[in-house]
Each structure stands twice: as structure tokens, then as C-alpha cells.
Amino acid sequence: YQCPKCGNKYKYPGDMKKHVRFQCGQEPKFQCPYCRKRAKVSSNMYAHVRSMHGDLP
């Protein structure tokens, strides 16, 4: 399923609808405290910090 606004693709229609409703066209609100990465959703930022920076204090 493809977002009609930005072209992002999703496996499930519900994921695409959630993207359109809450993320598409929005500026990222969450900044990684360890690098320049930004995310629109806090859970994505949390996953980034865990995977890229490990268990930093």
C-alpha cells in the first residue's frame, strides 16, 4: 500500500493509514541525544537509540 501524499510503501493498509494521519507531512519532533537523527514517532527514536547506540546511559 502506497501513501498518496509522499509515496512511502507499507505492507498493511492500517500502517499506511496511520502514517497518513499522524506522520506524513509532519516535521520530526524527536531528536537523538547522541547524533543528528530525528524521528516523527517516539518509538522509532527509541528503536534507533537502542540499535545504533546500544545501552548508553
SS3 sequence of the chain: CECCCCCCECCCHHHHHHHHHHCCCCCCCEECCCCCCEECCHHHHHHHHHHHHCCCC
pLDDT bucket at 52, cuts 50 / 70 / 90: very high
Mean pLDDT computed over 16-45? 92
**What does the pLDDT read at residue 23?**
86
Within 10 angstroms of residue 45's Cβ, the number of other Cβ atoms is 19
**What does the pLDDT read at residue 33?**
93
Mean pLDDT computed over 44-54? 93
Rounded CA gap, 31 and 15, in Å?
A: 23
- Would the pLDDT of 55 be above 80? no
Domain count, the chain: 1
Mean pLDDT computed over 6-21? 93
Q: Which residue range forms the structural domain that includes residue 25?
A: 1-56
Q: Distance between the two ends of the chain, CA-based, in angstroms? A: 38
Domain harbouring 3, CATH code = 3.30.160
